[in-house]
């Protein structure tokens, strides 16, 4: 299985922008999540971000909050999520990036947590409530376990700070496209283009844009602005949760295919 | 009766402790820090710089002191609770002396306005026109709505739906003063959920909005800023003790939810080893019942709302729901400095149940003609446990952090009078 960095290198060699769909693990159930991962991998995903349900998701808007709450009510726990990943990861081309808040990591202990992730075959980690200042204790040990920890840059991040984050971030840099929480928005903010220019001027690392990308037009827009990846979350979570699991899977399969087509130049 | 020697002068002064605790990263030992989305990091830095600048600015201090005096009604009295004292005296007439620091007499009826006022003055200087806040019991929401009305700022208060029901009077007060109260239905519809929603609003509107966090919780610099704005409680207490008996108090007693009234009273005395500091948490239906809010006595170290501290959580690191009859103590986290003081052994933390708090609520109403907030009643209830353990004639100062008007409906449901 390839690492997040290797995946981006291959895409860059082919001149392609990556598609990174996001799902909340265990919504509506883990069996459906496993099927969804397999399906997204087939339908054009290049990497897949998998959210661990958490009781207090500060960075998430209503769609992902609700999905996490449903999963927790069903009794989904971190160990179940990792078991599921361990089963499905060997069948996927796409590296799995785990998205989790910090408390579940702290609760396990950083080393135990990373060990579990490595065993399950997780390749990347995004922790939305762990800014640069608090990330040291995770960044270094993660490398020993072959896990890349990606840091986030926000529209409010000052230029000097952008450079430091870019330097520390592993795998890629996660550019938050809006001041706000995750969710579906009508359009992309123009300033994302300037942020991409600022980031590009300080780093050669791949840049993924996320938070608020919910349509094929948005994905194409960020690709044209120079992003190396479009990260699409709530729009997938919402589609998967609507109707029966079979209907949800069909919906996300089609959506994934269209998104990938939109960011693949003819 | 012994008189404790004095170790600092009478006049309240601007604390210099901000330079030593927390450290530059906002840490109290291992606790505190800034566990927030990147979007907020620049705003937290901006807030910290603004606070450091204006806290040491004589003009800011003059405006704050003036408003605390003329608008809030400070200093609040240190009241000798004669009949409560008699209740705990020994058969030979000796025993404790109990004093109440009357924060309940402040404008809006609690200590919360000390902080809301300070932060609104900061927000104005930072050019923020929109204010948001979370509230549990509604006292912080009311205090924030009040100062926003006073300064003509737009104000949104996040409040859990369950708390809106049990604190309906405060919801009305906030709306009357022009604030928008936004109901939060997530989770248990209490303070934790309201705080999460306020943080989400701040992440979204950070460039135009100041978040007036109401407790010594949240990411750095909030635990420090709120402490400094509440330290006036302890500074006045020191001066009033000196005036009344020429010494220090022996024991300070305060309730702890997030912990702002307790820190406000304690902070001035942390470096006075002779003064015992005791914080009382809500044991709800009992600490073994799983329906409690005794974070410091029952929690494990975790991260909630941007800070590392003791936390009520399950084996998977999910934050669990707290319970207390008192909306202001119904919180699964606690301010990081309390966790630090606990581990250091400098402060002691115990808990009392809903029922014990209700008993104390009635007791002090009948003995002193003071109806305390249910939160405050927790601190008073601990006298039952504490007083029989004491020898000599110690002077106890209880932070009477709020008045109980807001709670009479809740209490009426539980008491047959």
- Domain boundary assignment for chain A: 4-265
Given CA atoms B289, B290, B293, B298 in this order, what sign does their dihedral have?
positive
B204 and A CB contact within 8 Å: yes
Average pLDDT, chain A: 96
Which pLDDT score is estimated for A184?
87
Cβ <8 Å between B318 and A59? no
ipTM (interface predicted TM): 0.96
More confidently predicted of B1 and B308: B308
For residue B263, give both structure tokens.
């820190």
- Distances in Å between the Cα of B131 and the Cα atoms of B126, B171, B224 are 12, 17, 19
Residue B200 Cα, gap to closest chain A Cα (Å): 6
- Distances in Å between the Cα of B247 and the Cα atoms of B1, B3, B272 are 11, 5, 12
Residue A265 Cα, gap to closest chain B Cα (Å): 32
- Average pLDDT in the B45-63 region? 97
More confidently predicted of B1 and A87: A87
Given CA atoms B142, B147, B151, B155 in this order, what sign does their dihedral have?
negative
For residue B238, give both structure tokens.
């020191």
Strand, helix or coil for residue B155: strand
For residue B200, give both structure tokens.
């989400």
B42 and A CB contact within 8 Å: yes
Strand, helix or coil for residue A109: coil
Which pLDDT score is estimated for A199?
96
Chain B residue closest in CA terms to A104: B317
For residue A162, give both structure tokens.
């952008």
Residue B206 Cα, gap to closest chain A Cα (Å): 8
B9 and A CB contact within 8 Å: no
Cβ <8 Å between A181 and B42? no
pLDDT for B297 beyond 60: yes
Which pLDDT score is estimated for B6?
41
Backbone φ, ψ for residue B75 (5° rounding): -75, 150
CA distance A138 to A112: 12
Do the beta carbons of residue A245 and residue A36 sit within 8 Å?
A: no
Residue B40 Cα, gap to closest chain A Cα (Å): 8
Given CA atoms B295, B300, B304, B306 in this order, what sign does their dihedral have?
positive
- Average pLDDT in the B376-387 region? 98
Do the beta carbons of residue B147 and residue B72 sit within 8 Å?
A: no
| Active site positions of B, annotated | 87, 111
Burial A48-76 (b: 16+ CB within 10 A, else e): bbbbbbbbbbbbbbebbbbbbbbbbeeeb
B207 and A CB contact within 8 Å: yes
- Average pLDDT in the B383-387 region? 98
pLDDT for A228 beyond 60: yes
Which pLDDT score is estimated for B266?
98
Q: Give which of B128, B114, B44 is closest to B72, Cα–Cα.
A: B114
- Average pLDDT in the B323-344 region? 95
Which pLDDT score is estimated for B415?
84
- Average pLDDT in the B42-71 region? 97
- Average pLDDT in the B281-286 region? 97
CA distance A190 to A221: 10
Contacts of B17 (CB under 8 A, 6+ apart): B267
- Compare CB distances from A131 to B41, B199, B203 and report the shortest one's residue: B41
Cβ <8 Å between B305 and A155? no
- Distances in Å between the Cα of B173 and the Cα atoms of A100, B8, B143, B180 are 39, 41, 10, 11
Strand, helix or coil for residue B83: helix
For residue B355, give both structure tokens.
């029922």
Cβ <8 Å between B37 and A105? no
Which of the following is catalytic: A49, A148, A198, A228?
Answer: A49
CATH class, range A4-265: alpha beta
pLDDT for B14 beyond 50: no
pLDDT for A266 beyond 80: no
Which pLDDT score is estimated for A265?
75
Given CA atoms B10, B13, B18, B20 in this order, what sign does their dihedral have?
negative
B219 and A CB contact within 8 Å: no
- Percentage of chain B beyond pLDDT 70 is 95
DSSP-assigned beta bridge partners for residue B157: B133, B181
Of B16-30, B53-67, B254-268, which gets the smallest average pLDDT? B16-30
Strands (E), B268-346: 276-284, 300-304, 307-311
B332 and A CB contact within 8 Å: no
Q: Within 10 A of B166 (CB to CB), how many other CB atoms are there?
A: 22
Q: How far is CA B229 from the centre of its chain?
A: 11
Which pLDDT score is estimated for B11?
38
**Which residues in chain A have their CB less than 8 angstroms from residue B313's CB?**
103, 107
Q: Give which of B9, B44, B14 is closest to B228, Cα–Cα.
A: B14
Which pLDDT score is estimated for A187?
86
Strand, helix or coil for residue A12: helix
DSSP-assigned beta bridge partners for residue B184: B160
Which pLDDT score is estimated for A56?
94
B27 and A CB contact within 8 Å: no
Cβ <8 Å between A58 and B36? yes
Residue A160 falls in the annotated catalytic set: no
Given CA atoms A244, A250, A253, A254 in this order, what sign does their dihedral have?
negative
- Percentage of chain B beyond pLDDT 90 is 88
- Average pLDDT in the A232-261 region? 97
Average pLDDT, chain B: 94
**Which residues in chain A have their CB less than 8 angstroms from residue B33's CB?**
133-134
pLDDT for A206 beyond 70: yes
Which pLDDT score is estimated for B189?
84
CA distance A99 to A49: 6
- Distances in Å between the Cα of A52 and the Cα atoms of A77, A97, A263, B180, B270 are 8, 11, 27, 33, 41
Cβ <8 Å between B305 and A181? no
B388 and A CB contact within 8 Å: no
- Average pLDDT in the B359-367 region? 97
Which pLDDT score is estimated for B2?
41
CA distance B364 to B275: 24
Cβ <8 Å between A103 and B301? no
Q: Give which of B123, B164, B168, B127 is closest to B147, Cα–Cα.
A: B123
Side-chain half-sphere of B267: how many Cα atoms within 13 Å? 32
Q: Which of B24, B26, B39, B336 to mutate to test the interface with A (most CBs of A within 10 A)?
A: B39
Tokens 């710089």 map to which residue? B49
List residues in chain A touching B: CB distance below 8 A. Answer: 54-56, 58-59, 61, 65, 69, 72, 77-78, 101-108, 128-134, 151-158, 161, 165, 176, 179-181
CA distance B342 to B211: 28
pLDDT for B242 beyond 90: yes
pLDDT in tens, B167-178: 889 999 999 999
């Amino acid at each position: 299985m390839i690492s997040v960095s290797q995946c981006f290198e291959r895409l860059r060699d082919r001149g392609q922008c990556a598609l990174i769909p996001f799902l909340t693990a265990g919504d509506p159930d883990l069996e459906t999540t496993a099927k969804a991962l397999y399906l997204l991998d087939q339908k054009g995903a290049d990497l897949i971000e998998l959210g661990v349900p958490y009781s207090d998701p500060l960075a998430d808007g209503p769609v992902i909050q609700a999905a996490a709450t449903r999963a927790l009510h069903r009794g989904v726990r971190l160990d179940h999520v990792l078991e599921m990943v361990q089963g499905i990861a060997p069948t996927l081309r796409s590296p799995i990036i785990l998205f989790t808040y910090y408390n579940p990591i702290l609760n396990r202990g950083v080393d135990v947590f990373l060990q579990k992730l490595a065993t399950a075959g997780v390749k990347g980690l995004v922790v939305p409530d762990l800014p640069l200042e608090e990330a040291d204790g995770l960044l270094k040990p993660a490398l020993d376990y072959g896990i890349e920890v990606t840091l986030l840059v926000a529209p409010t991040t000052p230029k000097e700070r952008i450079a430091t984050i870019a330097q520390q971030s592993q795998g890629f840099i996660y550019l938050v496209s809006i001041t706000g929480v995750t969710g579906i928005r009508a359009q992309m903010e123009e300033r994302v283009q300037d942020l991409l220019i600022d980031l590009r001027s300080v780093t050669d690392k791949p840049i993924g844009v996320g938070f608020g990308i919910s349509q094929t037009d948005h994905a194409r827009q960020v690709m044209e602005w120079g992003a190396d990846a479009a990260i699409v979350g709530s729009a997938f979570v919402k589609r998967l949760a609507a109707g029966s699991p079979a209907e949800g899977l069909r919906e996300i399969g089609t959506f994934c295919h269209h998104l990938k087509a939109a960011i693949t130049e003819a | 009766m012994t008189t404790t020697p004095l170790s600092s002068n009478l006049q309240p002064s601007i604390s210099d402790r901000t330079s030593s605790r927390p450290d530059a990263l906002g840490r109290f030992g291992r606790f505190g820090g800034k566990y927030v989305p990147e979007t907020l990091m620049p705003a937290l830095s901006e807030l910290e710089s603004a606070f450091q600048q204006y806290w040491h600015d004589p003009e800011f201090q003059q405006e704050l002191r003036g408003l605390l005096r003329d608008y809030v009604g400070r200093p609040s009295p240190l009241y000798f609770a004669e009949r409560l004292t008699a209740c705990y005296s020994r058969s030979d007439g000796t025993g404790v002396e109990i004093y109440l620091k009357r924060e309940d007499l402040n404008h809006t009826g609690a200590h919360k306005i000390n902080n809301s006022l300070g932060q609104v003055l900061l927000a104005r200087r930072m050019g923020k026109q929109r204010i948001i806040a979370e509230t549990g019991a509604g006292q912080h929401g009311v205090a924030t709505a009040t100062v926003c009305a006073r300064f003509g700022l737009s104000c949104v208060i996040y409040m859990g739906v369950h708390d809106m029901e049990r604190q309906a009077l405060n919801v009305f007060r906030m709306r009357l003063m022009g604030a928008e109260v936004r109901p939060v239905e997530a989770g248990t519809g209490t303070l934790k959920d309201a705080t999460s929603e306020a943080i989400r609003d701040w992440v979204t509107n950070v460039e135009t909005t100041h978040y007036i966090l109401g407790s010594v919780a949240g990411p750095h610099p909030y635990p420090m800023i709120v402490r400094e704005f509440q330290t006036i409680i302890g500074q006045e207490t020191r001066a009033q003790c000196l005036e009344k008996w020429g010494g220090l108090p022996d024991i300070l007693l305060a309730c702890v939810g997030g912990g702002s009234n307790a820190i406000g009273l304690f902070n001035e005395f942390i470096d006075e080893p002779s003064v015992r500091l005791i914080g009382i948490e809500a044991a709800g239906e009992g600490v073994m019942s799983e329906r409690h809010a005794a974070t410091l006595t029952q929690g494990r170290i975790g991260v909630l709302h941007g800070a590392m501290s003791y936390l009520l959580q399950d084996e998977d690191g999910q934050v669990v729901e707290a319970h207390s009859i008192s909306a202001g103590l119904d919180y699964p986290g606690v301010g990081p400095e309390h966790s630090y003081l606990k581990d250091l052994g400098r402060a002691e933390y115990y808990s009392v149940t809903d029922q014990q708090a209700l008993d104390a609520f009635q007791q002090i109403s009948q003995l002193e003609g003071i109806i305390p907030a249910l939160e405050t009643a927790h601190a008073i209830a601990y006298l039952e446990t504490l007083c029989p353990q004491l020898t000599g004639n110690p002077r106890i100062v209880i932070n009477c952090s709020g008045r109980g008007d807001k709670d009479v409906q809740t209490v009426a449901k539980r008491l047959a009078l």
